Chain A
Amino acid sequence: MEHTTRTINSLRVEHITKRFPGVLACDDISLSIGKGEVLALVGENGAGKTTLMNVLMGLYHPDEGKIFINDEEVHFKSPNDAFACGIGMVHQQYMLVPNMTVLENIALGYKQAWKGLKLDLALVRRQVKDVIGKYGLTVDPDAYIWQLSVGEQQRVELVKTLCLGARFLILDEPTSALTPQETDELIVLLKRMAGELSIIFISHKLQEVKDLSSKVAILRHGKVVFQGTTSDHSSSDIAALMTGHEVVLPHNTGEACCLGPMLQLKNLKARSDRGFLALDDLSLYVCKGEIVGLAGVSGNGQRELAEVINGLRHVESGQILFDGQDIANFTPAQVIDAGMGYIPEERNTEGIVPSFSMKENFILKDSTSSQFNRHAFLNNKEIDRNANELREKFDIRSPNIEVAAGSLSGGNIQKVILAREISRNPKFLIAVYPTRGLDMGAAEFIHKQLLQKRNEGVGILLISEELDEITNLSDQVAVIFKGKIQKVLPSSKASRRRLGILMAGVKDDEEI
């Protein structure tokens, strides 16, 4: 296209409206961004941010509205048209083909390298080297995507987008899957890049919004409710505008008191999927009415620990004493019957059956209980009553109780899981990354529920990467590193800095 070489001095969208069956995702949205600006697009899940960006990329066609570049109207029929104008997007779920190398992934969009029967990877390699050198990104061009960590994949996405000639970057929740360290690195990198590029980034982490953006636009229910200069507004102002009410993430204010151990892990050993010792002589205990936060960089055994306790992974040696009984290598059903509640890491694949309705997902663990079951038939009246009650109590936003659980937003899916687990009155709860990817409103709700359960005397093991979440909620903070517990600290002594040092594997932290 003839736009290719022109710089983007301004980009404006006017009155964009996009409907999906039953949902008005974008409702008359107008925005504008100038050269060198960083616009933060914030809003809760389902506010329409991603849809709007997909419209900008030509992936969705808007039902109404116009897009202008340098005050000239453009029509994007496909992503190719958007690329031709210099717009590039890093999607929230990375758009990389796992069984191809970094170079091949970039070549897929780099049409100059398509020479008839020959794929000119040397040309792609030169282009990648240029971009890497210019922005100081580190990427191994010959690695397969599946071999890379999430942070590395994100850098590949950035390199790819820049190689394809983007001068206007759209980043959809770029930090949602990153560890705290990777997040910091990304922010530094984006700040450097903002000098030459315009950036729109979607986020609901307000710290990043403050750090990075020059302008902020807030979306709620598909509408722009606020636009302004970031530095003029505090994080809590933005949070209030985003959710429509004041957000105060709850803190654990209760007295730490051990009412006797509920879950005791003794010298646990278990292997990961790849066969190495993911849990290596791990010991930890959690009392009744206590939240123990397990902090650590992901991949240090958190997933395996949760699976081992819930009977989903084989224990090689060691004991799991639950209310005095050793439940190591119990089947999942036996663990559930012993009174364990579990909020798993992968909410869409482990927490729910996406194609089942919401009400069916509520009774997944109780389909044979006498409450929902009469003479081997499902008791639909009771199932409906239960579902309506939970939907109301947990403020799950869905058209009705019959909708497929998989069609709900992330926050609502998490509420469905939480409702199911809590309503079963467990003696203990294991929550793995319970608010990952959720907006503030949903996170606030889930935190409140967890604290309430704690106050009712339920022990909770909270596995998280968000240090704020851990320090806000926990009585004790345990740090996991390479399958071992580094240290257990009372929450009051767990500063960010101290936790960061422990998470990096440094053991003796007393003097620091």
Chain B
Amino acid sequence: MTFILNFLSLGIPFSVALLIASLGEMFNQRAGIFNLGCEGIMAMGAFLGMLIPYSIGRGADVPGIYNYLGLLVATGVGALLGLFFAMVVVTFRAPQGIAGIGLQMFGVGTAGTLFRHFVGGTQSIPGINRAPIPFLADIPVLGPLFFNHNPLVYVAFFLVPIAWYVLFKTPWGLRVRAVGTHPRAADSIGIQVNKVRFQALALGGALAGLAGAYLSLCQAKMFSDEIIAGRGFIAVALVYFGHWNPVKIMGGALLFSLAQALQLAIQGLGIDFPYEFLVMLPYVLVILVLTLSRKAQHMGPTALGKPFNREMRT
């Protein structure tokens, strides 16, 4: 029982970075842009999120505030990188896959270089700690599972219904879905396709930046070159996995993270079993589920990856 409880309460916070980043990626893809550079934006977010409290927050009167300033800066720079990516792929119509890989390398490389310049070596920071919710956290079983987490964990799960509402119930969400599925149709009734794509990429970038900062400020409480560890790419995969739907994406993020937590917990039991196989478990699981699950028909953004050019004759 405690084993199960332990791995579940470990798995939930694991899912946060994936969840936030993939919700962002979902908005990108719903608008028709597929941003492989998510990993790079996350790396920049992780670095900036850590740098602010580390450099200006040290010795300040209320150091906690600088943690949140870090989150804010990471989110803002994420949005700027999203806009930069938009300029490359929307305005200049560069191939999205290649530009995305470029952004990934740019982000990871820049974050690492700046880290060595401003910080030097591995430094741990106090970061943002758990915030148990009064009363609720004391409920047996449910308390430790759901109400004894980092504040950003609550935020991330709260983002799921918000993202759903924005995507399906607001005029902006309607425009996003239209430009990602049939941009010509959107254009023909007066939607500015590229403007909506810029907005969606800014939002996606902001969320990727926030996800990165979560890793350095809340999860690892430090920065290293490998801190993102492919989560940006997994986030991209989770969007497909979740059929561009926030609720299903949350399911995917949880599945992956719980598998991750499970393999760590099994390793902790000290059973004589090659741990390399355990490490593979979450990835194998995701591949299996992706292969076996029903493919989304009719519901996805069919213009994904295609630049829009009104006067291009088709």
Interface positions of A (Cβ within 8 A of B) = 20, 57, 59-60, 78-80, 83, 89, 91, 93-100, 104-105, 107-109, 113-119, 144, 146, 160, 164
Contacts and interface: CB of A to CB of B under 8 A. Distances in A.
Interface of B: 169-171, 173-175, 177-178, 181-182, 184-192, 298-302, 310-311, 313
Contacts of A118: 169-171
A119 B182 contact: no
Contacts of B298: 98-99, 144, 146
A472 B300 CA distance: 44
B295 to A, nearest CB: 13
A97 B171 contact: no
Contacts of A79: 187-190
6 contacts: A60-B310, A98-B302, A108-B175, A118-B169, A119-B170, A164-B189
A95 B174 contact: no
A236 B186 CA distance: 39
Given A59-B310, A96-B182, A100-B181, A107 B188 contact: no
Contacts of A91: 188
B190 A80 contact: yes
A113 B188 CA distance: 18
Contacts of A107: 171, 174
A15 to B, nearest CB: 20
B181 to A, nearest CB: 5
Q: Nearest 5 CB-CB pairs, A to B?
A: A109-B189, A114-B171, A95-B185, A80-B190, A146-B298
Contacts of B313: 20
Contact of A97 (B169, B182, B311): B182
Given A99-B177, A100-B181, A108-B178, A78 B190 contact: yes
Instruction: Name the residue in B177, B190, B191, B313 with the highest tally of chain A Cβ atoms < 10 Å from its Cβ.
Output: B190
Contacts of B185: 94-97, 105, 108
Nearest to B312: A20
Contacts of A57: 188
Contacts of B184: 93, 95
B310 A109 contact: no
- Residue among B173, B175, B178, B181 having the largest count of chain A Cβ atoms under 10 Å: B178
Contact of B311 (A60, A78, A80, A109): A60
A104 B174 contact: yes
B2 to A, nearest CB: 44
A108 B169 contact: no
Contacts of B186: 97, 108
B162 to A, nearest CB: 11
A99 B299 CA distance: 5
